[in-house]
Structure formats: structure tokens, C-alpha cells
């Protein structure tokens, strides 16, 4: 009797998205070929800017219903100069995040051995932070209005939404993650001194949740202080939980500290598993290097490792991460953003070779 394949939906998207996803699929296909207990089926969906220009929508009206039957989603990137960013982002990536209640956006920020960081005196053990980003409300709730458009009185209202249930569930997930992964502390990031409604609710709920985890150290920081301390003293951080906007910005800073956007992975999780979760590098579509072979696929491959862990394949997840570390430690298999000259496909092949060595 054969193994039931894990069904993976693949949305390469725009720009360099298809190029980095191709290398993730190379790694996943290697696992499928090597392990008799693992099987994948890949279904490609050509949704994105080209689809929008042809069909008038970034994904079909029943796109969520189509994706619901999959075990996970592998996503590349979205965005193009040909379509306004708020259309490409909200009508594809955010539509999936919100529609599938993927309220935990997990973003590891970790310095890999041999990779240069702009921070002086920092070793890999000093920069190992996991961001838990609330991903379905906050500043990205898409509530607002445009008043007196095109006149001198033009104004907009952009409403952020923070609910007790939304803050509580993401904070509790962060503490449960810290407990499960034996991490020592959870830091909450907000701006309660200026935002007396959303910020105060966030802080109050965080404190209530923290009281259920007395063994875990906690701290609360304003977002500007958190940005400063990420640069000055990243050692003080372990797990950070923050709202949609703040964590989005801080993890881009974190990606720069770990060596560049091309390295950084993420997982969009529906923890209750009522819907499939989605895995993507945090970089954008980088249309300026599309088709040049310069794109770094490590963020995408690392995201695939997060997917493997989510799907119960923890051993393979660890092996893929080990192969990623070995690949970026070798300057011969680094892409130009890391000071090398390797092409996108060279990196994917190197990860597979390092997987073979670790067998």
C-alpha cells in the first residue's frame, strides 16, 4: 500500500517568485525521491499579475475553495510595476492570509554560520530571534474611507482593528511556542504611549496571557525602542510578538541583520489547521533582477523547511536547514546579494548536494 501524498498548492507569483520556488521544488522532489515514506503532489496555480492583466483578478473568485483541499501552500512573491501594489498584495497574498485565518506569521531571524552581518561583534548564537506576527487584523484590516477625493479637502481614514480574541490568541501562541521550543523569553512590541486604544488593549491582553506562563521571562517595549535594541543588543531577544505592521517592519530590519532579504523565511499558519497554511520568503518580487539568475532562493527553501516541520516531517526540516547552512557557509555557492557569483539554480543544486552528504 502506497503512501498518501501530501498535496501542495504552488503559487509562484510574480518577478523572481517562480525562480526561487523552482529551487524549493527541487529540494522537495529530492525528498520525495529519497524517502519511501514521503510523497508530494504539486499543483501549480498561475495566479498573480499576468493572471490579473488577462482575467481582471489576481486569483479566481473561488480561489480559496480551490486551495482548501490542499495540505499546504508554497508561495513565491507578488508585485509588479504594471499593477498597483495594494491590488497585487491585497487581492492575492492577503486574501489568502485573511481568508484562511492564518493569524500567526512566523518569521525566524537567525544569523547563519559564515554569513556577514552589519553588526559588529555578533556571532550566530547572538542573533536567533523568532517573530510571531499577528497577521489577520491590526493595521492591515482594510477598513477606511476616502473623503473629498481630488479636492483640497482630500483626506483618508485608515482604521486599525485590534480585538481581544485576536491579541489573546497570537500572544498565547507565542508563549506556547516559547515553552515548546525551550526559549527563555517573550517580548511584546506595541506603542501604547501614543495609541491609547489599540496599544493599551494589546499591552493589557499580553500581560494577562503572560501571567499563565510564569516560567517564561517577559518584557514590553515600544516599537521604536525595539528597533533600536535589535541593532544595539539583539542578544536580549528570543521570541517577539507584535502586531501586523510593527512585526512587518521589524522583520525587514531583522532580515538585514541576518545578511539580507534573500535569506529570510516565513510561515503563515492557521494553528487550528481548519485551513491550509502558507509558506513564503519574506522578500518581494524583485522585478529588477527577474530573469537574471541572481535571485537568492534560500529564503524560499528555508520556508519549505518550515512547511516540512508543519507537515510533521521534522527530521527532514532539520536536514534541509542544515543543508541551507552548509550552502551559504560556502562562498562558492552564494548569490550576489551575499557577495558571491552563484546563480539561483546553483544554490538549489548545492542544497540538494548537501542533503545527499547528510544522508
Contact 46, 17 (CB under 8 A): no
Active-site residue, selected from the candidate residues 32, 203, 248, 346: 248
31-35, 54-58, 141-145: segment of lowest average pLDDT: 141-145
Residue range 117-144: mean pLDDT, rounded: 96
pLDDT at 236: 96
CATH class of 118-257: alpha beta
User: pLDDT band at residue 2, thresholds of 50, 70 and 90?
Assistant: confident
Active-site residue, selected from the candidate residues 103, 191, 203, 346: 191
Active-site residue, selected from the candidate residues 224, 233, 288, 330: 224
- Identify whether 224 is a catalytic site residue: yes
Q: Where are the beta strands (DSSP E) in the chain?
A: 6-13, 40-44, 72-77, 104-110, 128-134, 138-147, 155-161, 185-190, 217-222, 239-242, 265-269, 277-281
Residue range 80-107: mean pLDDT, rounded: 96
C-alpha cell at 342: 552563484
Active-site residue, selected from the candidate residues 50, 126, 128, 252: 252
- Superfamily of 1-110+261-359 according to CATH: Isopropylmalate Dehydrogenase (3.40.718.10)
Residue range 119-141: mean pLDDT, rounded: 96
pLDDT at 314: 97
Residue range 78-83: mean pLDDT, rounded: 95
pLDDT tens figures, 10-23: 999 999 999 999 99
Angle (deg, nearest 10), helices 298-310 and 314-329:
160
Distance CA 231, CA 86 (A): 30
Length of the chain: 359
Active-site residue, selected from the candidate residues 30, 103, 140, 177: 140
- Cross-strand pairs, 128: 110
Distance CA 295, CA 21 (A): 11
Contact 95, 59 (CB under 8 A): yes
pLDDT tens figures, 195-253: 999 999 999 999 999 999 999 999 999 999 999 999 999 999 999 999 999 999 999 99
- Identify whether 140 is a catalytic site residue: yes
Degrees (nearest 5) of the Cα angle 339, 22, 92? 100
Contact 254, 129 (CB under 8 A): yes
User: pLDDT band at residue 359, thresholds of 50, 70 and 90?
Assistant: confident
User: pLDDT band at residue 3, thresholds of 50, 70 and 90?
Assistant: confident
Q: Which residue, chain included where needed, has cell 536547514?
A: 321
Distance CA 18, CA 13 (A): 6
CA distances from 150 to 146, 154, 155, 175, 276 (A): 10, 6, 9, 47, 42
Domain residue spans in the chain? 1-110+261-359, 118-257
Distance CA 319, CA 4 (A): 22
User: pLDDT band at residue 1, thresholds of 50, 70 and 90?
Assistant: low
Total H helices, total E strands in the chain? 12, 12
C-alpha cell at 290: 527577474
pLDDT tens figures, 263-276: 999 999 999 999 99
Q: Which residue, chain included where needed, has cell 485573511?
A: 98
Degrees (nearest 5) of the Cα angle 177, 178, 182? 115
pLDDT tens figures, 151-198: 999 999 999 999 999 999 999 999 999 999 999 999 999 999 999 999
pLDDT tens figures, 289-330: 999 999 999 999 999 999 999 999 999 999 999 999 999 999
- Identify whether 191 is a catalytic site residue: yes
Amino acid at each position: 500500500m502506497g503512501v498518501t501524498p501530501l498535496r501542495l498548492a504552488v503559487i509562484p507569483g510574480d518577478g523572481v517568485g517562480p525562480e526561487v520556488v523552482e529551487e524549493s521544488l527541487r529540494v522537495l522532489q529530492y525528498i520525495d525521491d529519497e524517502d519511501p515514506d514521503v510523497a508530494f503532489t504539486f499543483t501549480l496555480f498561475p495566479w498573480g499579475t499576468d493572471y490579473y492583466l488577462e482575467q481582471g483578478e489576481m486569483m479566481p473568485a473561488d480561489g480559496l475553495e480551490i486551495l482548501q483541499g490542499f495540505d499546504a501552500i508554497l508561495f513565491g512573491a507578488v508585485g509588479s510595476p504594471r499593477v498597483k501594489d495594494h491590488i497585487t498584495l491585497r487581492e492575492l497574498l492577503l486574501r489568502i492570509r485573511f481568508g484562511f485565518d492564518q493569524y500567526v506569521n512566523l518569521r525566524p531571524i537567525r544569523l547563519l554560520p559564515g554569513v556577514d552581518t552589519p553588526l559588529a561583534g555578533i556571532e550566530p548564537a547572538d542573533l536567533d530571534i523568532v517573530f510571531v506576527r499577528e497577521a489577520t487584523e491590526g493595521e492591515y484590516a482594510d477598513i477606511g474611507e476616502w473623503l473629498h477625493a481630488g479636492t483640497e479637502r482630500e483626506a483618508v481614514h485608515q482604521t486599525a482593528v485590534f480585538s481581544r480574541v485576536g491579541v489573546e490568541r497570537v500572544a498565547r501562541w507565542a508563549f506556547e511556542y516559547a515553552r515548546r521550543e525551550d526559549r527563555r523569553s517573550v517580548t511584546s512590541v506595541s506603542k501604547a504611549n501614543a495609541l491609547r486604544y489599540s496599544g493599551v488593549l494589546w499591552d493589557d491582553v499580553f500581560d494577562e496571557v503572560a501571567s499563565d506562563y510564569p516560567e517564561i521571562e517577559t518584557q514590553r517595549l515600544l516599537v521604536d525602542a525595539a528597533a533600536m535594541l535589535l541593532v544595539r543588543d539583539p542578544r536580549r531577544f528570543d521570541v517577539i510578538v507584535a502586531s501586523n505592521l510593527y512585526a512587518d517592519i521589524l522583520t525587514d530590519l531583522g532580515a538585514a541583520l541576518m545578511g539580507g532579504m534573500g535569506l529570510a523565511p516565513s510561515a503563515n499558519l492557521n494553528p487550528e489547521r481548519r485551513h491550509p497554511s502558507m509558506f513564503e520568503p519574506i522578500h518581494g518580487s524583485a522585478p529588477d533582477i527577474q530573469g537574471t539568475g541572481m535571485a537568492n532562493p534560500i529564503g524560499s527553501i528555508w520556508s519549505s523547511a518550515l512547511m516540512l516541520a508543519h507537515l510533521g516531517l521534522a527530521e527532514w526540516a532539520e536536514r534541509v536547514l542544515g543543508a541551507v547552512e552548509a550552502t551559504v557557509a560556502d562562498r562558492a555557492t552564494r548569490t550576489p546579494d551575499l557577495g558571491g557569483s552563484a546563480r539561483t539554480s546553483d544554490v538549489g543544486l548545492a542544497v540538494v548536494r548537501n542533503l545527499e552528504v547528510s544522508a
